[in-house]
């Protein structure tokens, strides 16, 4: 099957001049959805990014420029979130994308209608793109799981179930924030200094980031029904960047027997633009499993998934500190990796999440877990970079870091690159650590 259509034409140009600038990240082939408000406005509303502009979809809906499913989809873009649009389903998303693509192309007769509804991206505040009802965080990078596992179980870093099922846990949706936010360092219990001793209590000393992608569910499934592997794409609205901040010292004390809790639920950061699965179609690649590993069970395997199930998305982690910002130094690149290295893929996560009848809903968020690569320089967390707190990371301006300090800012970027095709950016997810409230 082909996932490509006329909206993916790499030669297509827009009458929005900034969208045609090489590597701007938001060309007409992207058209990601988000929620924004212009400076001075009290109300958030849906929009799309095009070059360095944001198109106000709520205002466009009042003009009623489209017909059919595109008109119905645009009508759903008048609240303060994208949930209504997400719930309509893939045919409506595709129809709206096509209508917007045609309206924004060079020579479009609708330029005069749309142009007054553009707002400069530097003149808006971005919000959470959806009301996130539920949040599940997975653990799908075998490279990350192995690197972390070696620190605790050198002879057996991966537990027996890892290569058979996508491992996940239920996260905290209420503490997810859009890029640019700040949060206080978490406080909690830590492991006793000696066996049988009293736990410590105070601000986290081993605060870390996690380089992840977020998967926004579109149309959900009824309770008791499964989402089949080859139907999963129709239930995914799109992807964002996700930083699932982690308090490693709190985590080390609490994670047995039930896993992450206070070490994870204090803050998570996402990028504000959702890049649709359709926009990412040119970057689909085969999903490959090492022949020496257990092969996925039938409900997690299909010919279609093997041929198109993975995505080639480049990921980067940057760090800035109080010292570097005072010296006007550029943020330091800590590591790079790629989503294609993940052990499980998007469709498999939805198929597994619902195989027991769990009902997903429009706006639910699934995290991939930390996306590390196989080589040095591809670590998705400080815990890997510093080898479990043993080797400090040296920064270009002379500082070192074992773990994050107060006022450190972590910036995650993601983008797709392909010869002969415009760069498709997922934007950025940035957050700053503030002192603990004690």
| Tens-place pLDDT, residues 356-397 | 999 999 999 999 999 999 999 999 999 999 999 999 999 999
Q: Where do the DSSP E strands lie in 218-371?
A: 236-243, 246-247, 268-270, 275-276, 284-285, 310-311, 314-320, 332-338, 365-367
Q: Is the dihedral of CA 383, 385, 390, 396 positive or negative?
A: negative
Please answer whether residues 113 and 345 qualify as being in contact, where contact means their C-beta atoms are separated by less than 8 angstroms: no
Please answer whether residues 137 and 171 qualify as being in contact, where contact means their C-beta atoms are separated by less than 8 angstroms: yes
pLDDT of residue 1: 66
Half-sphere exposure of 287 (CA within 13 A, CB side): 21
- Per-residue DSSP letters for 37-101? EETT-S--EEEEEETTEEEEHHHHHHH----HHHHHHHHT--SSSSHHHHHH-HHHHHHHHHHHH
Tens place of pLDDT per residue across the chain (438 aa): 689 999 999 999 999 999 999 999 999 999 999 999 999 899 999 999 999 999 999 999 999 999 999 999 999 999 999 999 999 999 999 999 999 999 999 999 999 999 999 999 999 999 999 999 999 999 999 999 999 888 878 888 888 899 999 999 999 999 999 999 999 999 999 999 999 999 999 999 999 999 999 999 999 999 999 999 999 999 999 999 999 999 999 999 998 888 899 999 999 999 999 999 999 999 999 999 999 999 999 999 999 999 999 999 999 999 999 999 999 999 999 999 999 999 999 999 999 999 999 999 999 999 999 999 999 999 999 999 999 999 999 999 999 999 999 999 999 999 999 999 999 999 999 999 999 998
pLDDT of residue 149: 85
Q: Domains (ranges, CATH) in the chain?
A: 6-126 (2.30.30.230), 135-434 (3.90.850.10)
Both tokens of 248, joined, read: 């490693």
* C-alpha distances out from residue 312 to 235, 339, 414, Å: 20, 6, 10
Of 271, 270, 267, 273, the closest CA to residue 404 belongs to 267
Please answer whether residues 315 and 338 qualify as being in contact, where contact means their C-beta atoms are separated by less than 8 angstroms: yes
pLDDT of residue 148: 87
- Displacement of CA 37 from its chain's centroid (Å): 21
Give the tens place of pLDDT for each residue, 271-300: 999 999 999 999 999 999 999 999 999 999
Q: Which of 144, 235, 352, 353 is catalytic?
A: 144
Look up 144 and say whether it is catalytic. Answer: yes
pLDDT of residue 341: 96
């Amino acid at each position: 099957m082909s996932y490509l259509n006329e909206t993916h034409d790499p030669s297509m140009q827009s009458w929005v001049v900034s969208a045609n600038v090489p590597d701007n990240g938001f060309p007409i082939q992207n058209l990601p959805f988000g929620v924004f408000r212009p400076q001075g406005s009290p109300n958030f509303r849906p929009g799309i990014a095009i070059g360095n502009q944001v198109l106000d979809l709520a205002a466009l809906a009042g003009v009623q420029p489209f017909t059919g499913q595109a008109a119905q989809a645009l009508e759903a873009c008048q609240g303060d979130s994208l949930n209504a649009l997400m719930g309509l389903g893939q045919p409506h998303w595709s129809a709206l994308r096509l209508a917007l693509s045609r309206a924004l192309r060079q020579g479009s007769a609708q330029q005069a209608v749309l142009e007054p509804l553009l707002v400069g991206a530097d003149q808006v505040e971005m919000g959470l793109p959806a009301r996130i009802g539920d949040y599940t965080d997975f653990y799908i990078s075998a490279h990350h799981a192995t690197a972390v596992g070696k620190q605790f179980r050198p002879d057996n870093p991966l537990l027996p179930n890892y290569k058979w099922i996508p491992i996940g846990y239920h996260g905290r949706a209420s503490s997810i924030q859009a890029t640019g936010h700040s949060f206080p360092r978490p406080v909690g219990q830590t492991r006793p200094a000696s066996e049988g001793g009293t736990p410590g209590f105070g601000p986290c000393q081993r605060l870390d980031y996690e380089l992840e992608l977020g998967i926004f569910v579109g149309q959900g499934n009824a309770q008791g029904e499964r989402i089949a592997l080859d139907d999963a794409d129709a239930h995914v609205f799109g992807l964002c960047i996700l930083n699932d901040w982690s308090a490693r010292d709190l985590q080390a004390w609490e994670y047995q027997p039930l896993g992450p809790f206070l070490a994870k639920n204090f803050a998570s950061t996402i990028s504000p633009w959702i890049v649709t699965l359709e926009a990412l179609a040119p970057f689909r690649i085969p999903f490959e499993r090492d022949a020496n590993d257990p092969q996925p069970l039938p409900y997690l395997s299909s010919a279609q998934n093997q041929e198109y199930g993975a995505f080639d998305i480049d990921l980067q982690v940057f760090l800035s500190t109080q010292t570097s910002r005072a010296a006007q130094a550029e943020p330091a690149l800590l590591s790079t990796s790629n989503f294609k290295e993940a052990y499980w893929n998007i469709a498999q996560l939805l198929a597994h999440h619902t195989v027991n009848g769990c009902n997903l809903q429009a706006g639910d968020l699934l995290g991939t877990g930390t996306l590390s690569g196989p080589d040095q320089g591809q670590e998705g967390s400080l815990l890997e970079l510093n080898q479990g707190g043993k080797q400090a990371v040296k920064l270009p301006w002379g500082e070192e870091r074992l773990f994050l300090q107060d006022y450190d800012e972590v910036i995650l970027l993601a983008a797709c690159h392909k010869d002969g095709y415009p760069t498709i950016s997922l934007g950025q997810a940035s957050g700053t650590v503030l002192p603990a409230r004690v």
